[in-house]
Amino acid sequence: MPKTILIIEDEQTIVDILKFHLEREGYACEYACDGQEGLRMALSLNPDLILLDIMLPVLDGFEVCRSLRGRGVQTPVVMLTAREDEADKVFGLELGADDYVTKPFSLAELSARIKANIRRTAEPADGALPRAAHGEPSNELCYGGLTLHLGRMEAYRDGGALELTQREYDLLQFLAQNADQVFSREELLERVWNYEYYGDLRTVDVTVRRLRGKIEENPAEPRYIVTRRGAGYLFKS
């Protein structure tokens, strides 16, 4: 079954280019030319990934993304931004978007991003499960008041379920499974985001900041995800 990509974009030329290119790469494409139609199609088609323009008629891309996440839809969303300052907004507004590319984008770059984002959700982070005291594989990681259920991909703080996006969870699990090791932002992009060739390092900082806002008692003085200046991040056991 080919993976389905929903393109929500009002510029027909861009839609045509994207469709042509993505179908040649083996994806099935659907498209909507305004935000409201896009939202409706995202909910009814359940695509594998959504390419979402920001400036759209009726509902803009920010509203579409927020609305999807508000309904619990966790489909990876890659925002198509026209300017760098829009890119900042994508993460600044905490919409739950997974990634963005800035127009004009290279098709090779876009393909790599799409592949990485689809792979993230199709294959949850692997890596050896930690061992419990009696030697059996454990499905839980506990540090202080923080608990991760690896099988269910859920995290709890002091018993309360945390609302984490897929990427936030992946980052938390990766760091927690490798507690007390420092990872550079480049390493995290490669290991958690699956970016092999390039990547925007700010993506890591923004995701760490969002994660701290959800898991830390005091995000300004984090107990779990600590910054090592000039080196990267580590999870403190």
Please, is 116 exposed, middle or buried when counting C-beta atoms within 10 Å of its C-beta (0-12, 13-18, 19+)? buried
User: Considering the complex, what minimum distance in angstroms separates the CB of residue 60 from Ca ion?
Assistant: 9
CB of 225 to Ca ion, least distance (A): 36
Q: Look at the alpha carbons of 175, 178, 184, 185 in this order and tell me if their dihedral is positive or negative.
A: negative
Smallest distance, Ca ion to C-beta of residue 41, A: 17
Nearest to 102, CA basis, from 2, 210, 211, 202: 202
Of 10 and 190, the one with the shorter C-beta distance to Ca ion is 10
CB of 85 to Ca ion, least distance (A): 16
Kindly determine how many residues on this chain lie close enough to bind Ca ion according to the rule CB under 5 A. Answer: 3
* H/E run at residue 95: none
Structure tokens at 109: 């770059």
To Ca ion, the closest distance from the beta carbon of 53 in angstroms equals 4
Range 42-81, binding Ca ion (CB under 5 A): 53, 55
**Residue 22 or residue 141: which is nearer to Ca ion going by CB?**
22
| Dist. CA 59–CA 217, nearest whole Å | 35
Q: How far is the CB of 33 from Ca ion (least distance, A)?
A: 9
Select the residue whose beta carbon is closest to Ca ion and give its number. 55
- Cα–Cα nearest to 64, from 37, 29, 101: 37
144: left (phi over 0), alpha (psi -120 to 50) or beta: left
Q: Which stretch binds Ca ion (CB under 5 A): 2-10, 57-65, 149-157, 223-231?
A: 2-10
Q: Which residues make Cβ contacts (< 8 Å) with residue 152, sequence separation at least 6?
A: none
**234, two tokens:** 């580590």
Pairing of strands 160-161, 154-157: antiparallel
- Taking the least distance from each CB to Ca ion, the nearer of 56 and 171 is 56
Q: Please, which residue, 10 or 216, has the CB nearer to Ca ion?
A: 10
Asked if 182 is part of the footprint of Ca ion (rule: CB under 5 A), the reply reads: no
Per-residue x/- track, 3-32, Ca ion (CB under 5 A): -------x----------------------
Nearer to Ca ion by C-beta: 103 or 228?
103
Of 5 and 51, which has the nearer Cβ to Ca ion?
51
- Chain residues binding Ca ion by CB under 5 A are 10, 53, 55
